[in-house]
Amino acid sequence: MKRVLNLLFQKDKKTLEEKALLVQSGQQKYLDSLLADYQPFVKKVVSSVCKRYIDQRDDEFSIGLIAFHEAILKYDRSKGGSLLAFAEVVIKRKVIDFLRSSSRYKDISIEQHTKEDDENGAGKSLENTISFNHYRIKKDEEKRKEEIIAFRMKLQNFGLIFEDLVEQAPKHDDARINAFKAAAVLVQDDSLKESLFQTKRLPMKDLEKKVEVSRKTLERNRKYIIAIAIILSGDFIYLKDYIKGRLD
């Protein structure tokens, strides 16, 4: 099922862990993209340690980004667990070491982040973190499957199936982006949205007036636009994550 979604929404099929292994093999382009794409993650982890918002101008952010780089290089897939779980532990440790060495920080609350490490040992803490992450991944996967089943049922109401969408999905980036934009316009307009869900047909004439693509293009991508509109209109958290960024 995930393979079908990747085909449908044209996501990069490589997981974060696979990209880390490519970095370890010397493919610099993946390192550059990971360091750029995961800056929000680094900020979040560093901010949680510092108890304040951290941005790129802060020394703590630089320490966190260096630690994330280190985690990418040291990640061992054979030990199980996700790279993000491992990276979070590494970032926290590095930032805490930095804070401890800085005279600006005397807050005892810093110790709370390493309490488990101090009591059970760093290895045990990391083991617990990865174990919890395994559980979370499993639960996420279950919810994702349930969501896909619900999406399939919605598609059936419109006479659509996954296989049709994969075959008819726009092959070029421009066409795919235009289809996403058309779907976004549709769901943001109450009258168009109501027409879609009542008639189970794309309100072609009215939609054409509100988008910058031709009727022919809308006709060609009709099924794809409907599918995206269903996702955007529903409580599809995971599927929305698949298409996140395509509407920017």
Q: Supply the pLDDT for residue 4.
A: 52
pLDDT above 90 covers a percentage of the chain that reads 26
Same-domain status, 124 and 192: no
Our CA dihedral for 1, 31, 140, 128, rounded to 10 degrees, sits at 140
Name the one residue in this structure whose structure tokens are 């532990």: 89
Name the more confident of 1 and 62.
Answer: 62
For residue 3, is it within any domain? no
| Residue where one domain finishes, among candidates 89, 109, 140 | 140
pLDDT for the residue numbered 192: 94
Summarised one tens digit per residue, pLDDT across range 178-226 is 888 899 999 999 999 999 999 999 999 999 999 988 889 899 999 999 9
What pLDDT is stored for residue 114 in this prediction? 46
Q: Residue 210 carries which DSSP code?
A: T
Domain identity same for 127 and 208: no
Q: Is 248 contained in some domain?
A: no
| Domain's final residue, options 110, 140, 170 | 140
Residue 237 is part of which domain span? 158-243
Count other Cβ atoms within 10 Å, centred on residue 193. 17
Please tell me whether residues 136 and 84 are part of one structural domain: yes
State yes or no: pLDDT of 52 exceeds 90: no
DSSP letters spanning 151-182: HHHHHHHTT--HHHHHHHS-SSHHHHHHHHHH
115 and 177 housed in the same domain? no
Kindly report, residue by residue over 130-175, the tens digit of the pLDDT.
454 555 556 667 777 888 888 888 998 999 887 777 777 787 878 8
Q: What is the pLDDT of residues 73-92, one digit of tens each?
A: 998 888 777 889 889 999 99
User: Does one domain contain both 236 and 133?
Assistant: no
**What pTM was estimated for this model as a whole?**
0.49
Same domain, 165 and 134: no
Contact, 9 vs 242, CB < 8 A?
Answer: yes
Overall domain count for the chain? 2
What is the residue type of 245?
A: G
In a shared domain, residues 32 and 106 = yes
pLDDT above 80 for 176: yes
